[in-house]
Amino acid sequence: MCTKRKGLSTFSIVGYDPETKDLGVAVASKFIAVGALVPWAKANVGAVATQALANISYGPKGLELLEKGYSAKKVLQTLISDDPQKEERQVGIVDSKGEAAAFTGSKCYAYAGHIVGSNYAVQGNILTGPEVLEAMAKAFEQTKGELVDKLLAALEAGDKAGGDRRGKQSAAIIVVREKGGYGGYTDRYVDLRVDDHPEPVQELKRLFRIWELTLLTREKPDDVVDKNKVAETIQKALKKLGYYKGEITGVWDEETENAFKDFILINNFENKMRTDNYIWGTVYRYLLELYRKS
């Protein structure tokens, strides 16, 4: 946020994964539905985060320029050069080659700043201090996994380091991958928003876990559980949750299999259904979590 006008007091990260070609943005703020305004991304093109006294046109205009072949730095220069209120803006950009650029206007409320690294840029305003951005950069660089894992880790690190000094309200993440969306029909690999919540970053992580179970297929091959070894536990869990009506025998029979399939289908986890004697560890752990909470 800048001057005395209402703006997006925000911390965000734009990032690129050179292995998967994923591009994305993660953001959190003491502002309603920050995901509707700050993050912009297009597969094989780039990602933009526009905030502070946000010029929302930076999002679509930035992507348009990136698609024409402009580098992140060139796009940034073009956007702010045409903006008479540039000193009230903050923006981060990453292109499809991993070049990143960021700008923090001189009139943004303290603490405001940015860090540009390899394949990412973090930026924020009205923060508790520079430690927020430093924690985000470190988390992005050190976290293993896909871009979505790095972005979520960075957002959580910034949140734990102090985040927006006014408080918490919303968070969002978008990661694009060519044909990475549902059924391969779109590029929205991950697209989640928490519009109003007392702990938006943690809620975003919870939602992503369900998104991952429902839509993504990236389990480690050895993260499986033998049905016959956990039959009793599964029966107890499914019975308490209302899926299994039989006796607790500890034997994985047809009734247990059907009850487990009902659990899978009702929760939209069809892509996690296996045809052998194993259950994905992710599904097993989620079922047990529901069991303990019920």
Summarize pLDDT for 69-115 with one digit per residue, the tens: 999 999 999 999 989 999 999 999 999 999 999 999 999 999 999 99
What pLDDT is attached to residue 9?
A: 73
Closest C-alpha among 125, 174, 133, 173 to residue 157: 133
- In this structure, which amino acid lies at residue 64? E
For domain 10-215, give the CATH number: 3.60.20.10
What pLDDT is attached to residue 82?
A: 85
DSSP alpha helix (H) spans, the chain: 58-67, 72-81, 131-142, 147-160, 200-215, 231-240, 254-266, 281-293
**In the sheet where 113-117 sits, what is the strand order?**
113-117, 120-124, 10-16, 23-29, 170-176, 188-194
Q: Is the pLDDT of residue 139 over 70?
A: yes
Q: Of the given ranges (6-10, 16-20, 106-110, 256-260), which has the lowest mean pLDDT? A: 6-10
Domain ranges of the chain: 10-215, 224-293
List pLDDT tens digits, range 25-74.
999 999 999 999 999 999 999 999 999 999 999 999 999 999 999 999 99
Q: Is the pLDDT of residue 152 over 50?
A: yes
What pLDDT is attached to residue 6?
A: 53
What pLDDT is attached to residue 3?
A: 37
Closest C-alpha among 26, 33, 25, 41 to residue 8: 33
Pairwise pLDDT comparison (143 vs 2), residue with the higher score: 143
List pLDDT tens digits, range 160-195.
999 999 999 999 999 999 999 999 999 999 999 999
pTM: 0.93
- In this structure, which amino acid lies at residue 26? A
- In this structure, which amino acid lies at residue 44? N
The C-alpha atoms of residue 150 and residue 15 are separated, in whole angstroms, by 9
What pLDDT is attached to residue 86?
A: 97
The alpha carbon of 153 is separated from its chain's Cα centroid by a whole number of angstroms, namely: 9
Residue 277: pLDDT band (50, 70, 90) is very high
Q: Is the pLDDT of residue 7 over 70?
A: no
Which residues lie closer than 8 Å to 204 by C-beta, 6 or more apart? 28, 152, 155, 171, 172, 173, 192, 194
Q: Is 283 left (phi over 0), alpha (psi -120 to 50) or beta?
A: alpha
Percent of the chain at pLDDT > 70 equals 97
Q: Is the pLDDT of residue 1 over 70?
A: no
What pLDDT is attached to residue 163?
A: 94
Q: What rounded mean pLDDT belongs to the chain?
A: 96
The C-alpha atoms of residue 294 and residue 290 are separated, in whole angstroms, by 6
Q: Is the pLDDT of residue 209 over 70?
A: yes
